[in-house]
Amino acid sequence: MPLAIPFDNSYARLPGPFHTRQRAAPVRAPRLIAWNAGLAEALGITGDDDAQTLARVFSGNDLPEGAAPLAQVYAGHQFGGFSPQLGDGRALLLGEVVDRAGHRRDIQLKGSGPTPYSRMGDGRAWLGPVLREYLVSEAMHAMGIPTTRALAAVATGEQVWREAGALPGAVLTRVASSHIRVGTFQYFAARRDLANLRALYDYTVARHYPHVENPAHLLSEVIGRQARLVAQWLSVGFIHGVMNTDNTAISGETIDYGPCAFMDSYHPQTVYSSIDAQGRYAYDNQANAIVWNMAQFASALVPLMPEADAAVAEFTALVHAMPDRIEAEWRTAFGAKIGIADPTPEDLVLVGDLLARMAEGRADFTNTFRALATGGARDQFRDPLAFDSWEAGWRARIAREADPLAVMRAANPVVIPRNHRVEQVIAAAVSGDLAPFERLLAVVSRPFEDLPDAADLRRPPLPSEAVSRTFCGT
């Protein structure tokens, strides 16, 4: 039986200005690198899943029955500056499926060739960012953080040219609950295309928020999901790196993994992205960045309201309330990290004190929190006494908790895809060895398990291994 993907394409049925129909540009020699069989099963994909078939379909060379490939248009604020037209410049929505759980999900190729929205780009991706997104998105999912997923990675057999020279090309297939972005709303709002802005609003509400009654309600719901999402990122030391409004999904999923990275030693100002010179999207600026993005979303919704002044007043109040909503999510997430199920403001003083000592003591973020439950946290600090003088107060506090160890074990991953390991597995893959990638993927897909033979993947980088810069490079 041929490979069968049960497509049901609703975005393709939206009016013409939403997208451009586009076929993938064929590649020379597609070869399957990774296939997420569990996800494929959940999506209802059946039939021949031999490596050659998958390589042809998920490179874009073969168009599967029922697909209606298209490039989506959107706009966006990139590092604060507005671009009225962006869009899928190197990606194509193959189509949607309603998965076995009844959820509609996009299947998208990334790196599949030029589109009308490619601007100066080649429409391609190289292997490095494809493997990075595969690893990090699957790790995020395994940690329980809303995210797009990785379904397949295929090497193209072609070279792509980047600053570093010629690199092996690849295509990632990702799955998202949708690819509707803040920037999609901004696109129609900036063009004053009220009819299509309304069509987008109706489509978004029907697809993601069917209980929502008006634009203010939608804004509040999206703010709620994004507040939770960013608190979850902070709780695992994740730095997205490019929180532009075109990379902020209305669904509340993490999307567009570019120069993203997890922190090793804790410092709130940590930045990895080579293009983020100002630290706009530094670790602890992410809460501000998402509030700013939600203000842009609010602006794009104003034309949908009958009376602009009243809408601005109502939306402004919602946006101004967002920091408190992030704070509440942050409190829950970080309370759990120190074993407190329902933290009070005083408990947060305890968290803040620990973080300050961690920053001072260059403590490893992941390993310090994990060691609170398993022992050895003091060894993570340059000066272990800095931990000891915090520990007494903490122990007295968690003595009043029902099961602090279980709370901490569920909140603190054992392993994250550390930046230097991601870079190492990419380097190995470029030289033809996929085994390190496969091993790292297997381990970070079970992030709360203390797997034997994975100690090297849990260890922070040696000074000689540390990677402090990441690149968009896609």
Instruction: List residues with catalytic annotation.
Output: 246
d(CA 245, CA 247): 5
Is residue 245 near Mg ion by the rule CB under 5 A? no
Q: Find which of Mg ion, ligand AMP, none residue 72 binds, CB within 5 to 8 Å per kind.
A: none
- Residue whose beta carbon is closest to ligand AMP: 121
Among 122, 391, 438, 465, binds ligand AMP (CB under 6 A): 122
What residues numbered 321-340 form the site for ligand AMP, per CB under 6 A? none
> Which residue in 61, 204, 245, 247 binds Mg ion (CB under 5 A)?
247
* Residue 86 in contact with ligand AMP, rule: CB under 6 A: yes
Cβ nearer to ligand AMP, comparing 242 with 340: 242
Q: Which two tokens stand for residue 340?
A: 């407190």
- Tokens for 451? 């797997």
Tell me which residue of 274, 287, 288 sits closest to 241, measured CA to CA.
274
Query: How many residues touch ligand AMP (CB under 6 A)?
Result: 18
Q: Tell me whether residue 59 or residue 474 sits nearer to ligand AMP (CB atom).
A: 474
Residue 193 binding target from Mg ion, ligand AMP, none, CB below 5 to 8 Å by type: none
Least Å distance, CB 441 to ligand AMP, is 22
Containing 142, the helix (H) or strand (E) segment is helix 127-142
CA-to-CA separations, 12 to 17, 94, 123, 155, 190, in angstroms, rounded: 11, 10, 21, 28, 22
Is residue 215 within 8 Å of 240, Cβ to Cβ?
no
Closest residue to Mg ion: CB criterion: 256
Q: Residue 94: in which H helix or E strand, if any?
A: strand 91-98
Under rule CB under 6 A, residue 258 binds ligand AMP: yes
Residue 254 makes contact with Mg ion by CB under 5 A: no
Instruction: Kindly state whether residue 87 participates in binding ligand AMP, applying the rule CB under 6 A.
Output: yes
Bin 154: left if φ > 0, else alpha if -120 < ψ < 50, else beta: beta
How far is it, in rounded angstroms, from Cα 378 to Cα 388? 7
Nearest distance in Å: CB 244, Mg ion: 7
Pick from 124, 132, 409, 458 the residue near ligand AMP by CB under 6 A: 124
d(C-alpha 130, C-alpha 415), whole Å: 21
Are 286 and 239 in contact, with CB atoms under 8 Å apart?
yes
Binding of ligand AMP by 167 (CB under 6 A): no
Is the Cβ–Cβ distance between 253 and 225 less than 8 Å? no
The yes or no reply on residue 186 touching ligand AMP (CB under 6 A) is: no
Residue 95 is a binding residue for ligand AMP (CB under 6 A): no
* Smallest distance, Mg ion to C-beta of residue 192, A: 24
| CA distances in angstroms from 161 to 23, 234, 426, 473, listed in the order given | 22, 34, 17, 10
Q: Say which entry of ligand AMP, Mg ion, none residue 188 contacts (CB below 5 to 8 A, set by partner kind).
A: none
Q: Given the structure tokens 């099963």, which residue do they identify?
A: 41
Piece in contact with Mg ion (CB under 5 A), picked from 117-125, 246-254, 279-287, 345-353: 246-254
Which pair of structure tokens corresponds to residue 159?
């070279």
Alpha carbon distance 406, 403 (integer Å)? 6
461 binds, among Mg ion, ligand AMP, none (CB under 5 to 8 A by kind): none
Q: Strand, coil or helix: what is 263?
A: coil
Query: Is residue 256 a contact residue for ligand AMP (CB under 6 A)?
Result: yes
Q: Residue 247, interface with ligand AMP (CB under 6 A)?
A: yes
Q: Which residues bind ligand AMP (CB under 6 A)?
A: 86-90, 117-118, 121-124, 242, 244, 247, 256, 258, 472, 474
Name the residues that contact Mg ion, by CB under 5 A.
247, 256
